[in-house]
Amino acid sequence: MTDVPIFVGESAWQAENLARIEHHLSVIRNQEDDTLFTEWWNGHFVVLTHADGYLRLWMMEEEVANTTWVQSVLDLEDPLHLVLNYTQAMLLTLAWQPDPRRVFISGLGGGSLPLVLHHHFPNIVLDCVEISPAVVEATTTYLPLPVDERITVTVADAADFLAMQAPSTYDMLLLDLFTDGGKTPDHVTDRAFFEICHQRLTANGVLSMNLYSLAEGHAQRLERLQEIFESVYICKIHSGIDVVLAAKTAPIGRFTMLERSIDVQKRRQFHFRLPDWVKSVTL
């Protein structure tokens, strides 16, 4: 077992949580590289692999078994580091909500975002929704995501789940609804869904959504968000991946966004550089 690092400003609870994560992963870390989980679900293979010090969750279409579209990646040596760049950028929402109390996350994937938020925000409540029961099984079995009084995991469609919630429930909505090949289902990019998102957010609420800019109809998706939300920003990641930020407040400039991101970084001490993503944001 490797030593559990304790970072400056870390609470006793966080030290215990890191020890829990380390204990969970120690068995897998000492195993040989292998495929840990494979299950067929709704036209896809859900696959979890252990290779080269990482756990990777894939959702592969049957006819595209050699996909390069990985759903989630966890670094076994630093599980609180968000390996996939777009997941780091999605947390630019913290520039609007630096101390979120209740957050909606869908899809769950490998649970990287809730794992990080649960650790760095000890008072946060996370409602995680994942449409694939196979993904939930793989993640809750092999990955170190806790399910406790601050995290719930529900197997449901994101749109159906949000429709049943009360208005002004969430400070942040984090939406990562890709399947293989960068596809995002139409019903979670239509006007009705975005209107529900707007209604479910608190007065200063904000959403971030991972979208593939090369997908058909991407411009129309952005137009819908701009019609519904008070301010919309695009963070360009790579290879057509956009993180779209939509807030219920008046627009803020890049300098304000940078100041706020630096403040959050200092207070929360993420294992990645959140402020670095501000330069990639189009206002």
Cα 48 from chain centre? 18
pLDDT score recorded for residue 8: 42
Query: Parallel, antiparallel, or unpaired: how do β-strands 102-106 and 70-75 relate?
Result: unpaired
Q: Token match 């969970």: residue?
A: 24
Q: What is d(CA 85, CA 276) in angstroms, rounded to the nearest whole number?
A: 11
pLDDT score recorded for residue 267: 96
> For residue range 224-282, what is the model confidence (pLDDT) as tens digits?
999 999 999 999 998 889 999 999 999 999 999 999 999 999 999 999 999 999 999 99
Is the distance from CB of 24 to CB of 144 less than 8 angstroms? yes
| Residue 178: pLDDT band with limits 50, 70, 90 | confident
**Between residues 11 and 76, which one has the greater pLDDT?**
76
| Burial of 150 per CB tally in 10 Å (0-12, 13-18, 19+) | middle
pLDDT score recorded for residue 179: 67
The model carries a pTM of: 0.93
pLDDT score recorded for residue 7: 42
Report the percentage of the chain scoring pLDDT > 70: 93
- pLDDT of residue 16 exceeding 60, the answer is yes
- pLDDT of residue 72 exceeding 70, the answer is yes
- pLDDT of residue 43 exceeding 70, the answer is yes
At what angle are helices 191-200 and 218-228 packed, to 10 degrees? 40
pLDDT score recorded for residue 4: 38
- pLDDT of residue 191 exceeding 70, the answer is yes
- Calculate the average pLDDT of the chain: 92
- pLDDT of residue 61 exceeding 70, the answer is yes
- Mean pLDDT across 90-115: 97
Within 10 angstroms of residue 269's Cβ, the number of other Cβ atoms is 14
Which domains can be identified in the chain, with CATH numbers? 12-75 (no CATH), 85-282 (3.40.50.150)
Local structure of 39: helix, strand or coil = strand
Query: Parallel, antiparallel, or unpaired: how do β-strands 70-75 and 34-41 relate?
Result: unpaired
pLDDT score recorded for residue 147: 79
DSSP for 199-212? HHEEEEEEEEEEEE
Q: What is d(CA 229, CA 248) in angstroms, rounded to the nearest whole number?
A: 6
Query: Parallel, antiparallel, or unpaired: how do β-strands 170-175 and 102-106 relate?
Result: parallel
pLDDT score recorded for residue 59: 84
| Residue 44: pLDDT band with limits 50, 70, 90 | confident
Residues 6+ apart with CB under 8 A from 55: 28, 36, 48, 49, 73, 74, 76, 110, 142, 143
